[in-house]
Structure 1
Amino acid sequence: MTDRHSGTSSASPTHLDRELNELLQELRVIQGGILLLVGFLLVIAFSPRFEKATPFEEIVYYLTLLVSGVAAIVVVAPVVHHRLAFRRRDKERVVVRGNLHVLAATVLVALSILGILTLVTLSLFNPTLTIVIDVLYLALVTVMWGVLPMHSIRQAANGR
């Protein structure tokens, strides 16, 4: 990786190999989740209950399907980049861009889950409870995927 302060590369080949392997493992995890989401969404569209969907539910469904599809593209992009850059000594760029892709895909997955949660809660309960559940979900995602990791990063930077 490029050192932000000096502008020089600070990653050894061994370090890059380890980071690339970790990145590829993380991609495997998130790819499986995205495929499950897309499969779940496709099943919904062909269920008899979907015919009774309101226009709002149809919009939420379509946006959720669209976001899930974009997540699939984003999460596969590092694999394609790695394959195209393979043996071109471009591993550092693959790792840096792959990291950004995984973070973007994670946000898209969170939005996909929010859409699914909205659809299911609306079909089972009322709009007020749907809003409450969605807000609680967003708060949980923010804390678990944002606040706590950033807190750990700050603590590590301060030597704690």
Structure 2
Amino acid sequence: MSRPEESEQRQLARNLSELLQELRVAQGGVQILFGFLLSIAFSDRYEDVDGYIRVLHLVTVVLAAAAVALLTAPASWHRLLFRQGMRKEIIDTANVFAITGMVFLALAMIGTVLLLGEAIVGGWPAIVIGVFALVGFGMLWFVLPLLRRRDS
């Protein structure tokens, strides 16, 4: 919601600043997660894992890479289109990238939890742990905010 005394350009500048600050928080986490996932393939124990774990790991790495790409894209768009009079378009596009990036980050986190569950306990308990992660991320990151938005 805009402030009555705030011009459209000031509001856009504030919106962009807030969006980029939010992305800084998400980027750090996704980059650490991505590095962790990359390191797994180079461990000695990785040679002994079955095909399911390898596919789950690869899918999770791809999800994390997509999250990195989407969550860092707004900074690149801003830098490349800086002072082109396209602030609103940058914000609109960056917002889509940010939300989509958070979806991919949530999926990568769920995949990581499932992957670790498989490595530690395996079988149905690992799947239950993965489902708990799915419900947790889904509720906290998407369902509850969307319900709040609908109610306001």
Give TM-score scaled by structure 1 length: 0.87
- What displacement does 1:84 show? 1.1
**1:80 offset after TM fit, Å?**
1.1
Matched, 1:149 2:132: no
List alignment gaps of at least 5 residues for structure 2: 1-6
Number of the residue aligned with 2:132: 136
SS at match of 2:85: coil
Q: CA deviation at 1:72?
A: 1.1
Moved over 6 A (4+): none
Superposition pairs for residues 61-80 of structure 1, below 5 Å? 61-80=57-76
Aligned partners of 2:64 and 2:115: how far apart in 1?
A: 14
- Deviation, structure 1 residue 13: 0.5
Question: Aligned partner of 2:94: which letter?
Answer: G
Spell out, residue by residue over 1:3-58, the C-alpha distance to the aligned partner (whole angstroms, 9 max, x if none). Answer: xxxxxxxx701110110000110111111111101110111111111111110000
Conserved in 1, the CA contact under 8 Å of 2:114 and 2:126?
yes
* Partner-residue secondary structure (3-state), 1:149: helix
1:75-86 alignment, distance < 5 Å: 75-86=71-82
The partner residue of 1:119 within 115, 118, 122 is 115
Q: Work out the CA distance in 2 between the residues paired with 1:59 and 1:19.
A: 39
Residue from 80, 87, 94 that aligns with 2:90: 94
What letter is aligned with 1:83? R
Let me know the Cα RMSD of the aligned residues. Answer: 1.2
Residue 36 of structure 2 is aligned to residue 45 of structure 1: no
Partner of 1:33: 29
Letter in 2 for 1:144: L
The runs of 5 or more residues in structure 1 that have no matched partner are 1-10
Q: CA deviation at 1:155?
A: 2.3
| Farther-moved stretch of structure 1 (67-76 vs 103-112) | 67-76
Partners of 1:97 and 1:62 in 2: CA distance: 28
CA distance in 1, matches of 2:125, 2:140: 22
Using the size of structure 2 for normalisation, the TM-score is: 0.92
Sequence identity, in percent?
34
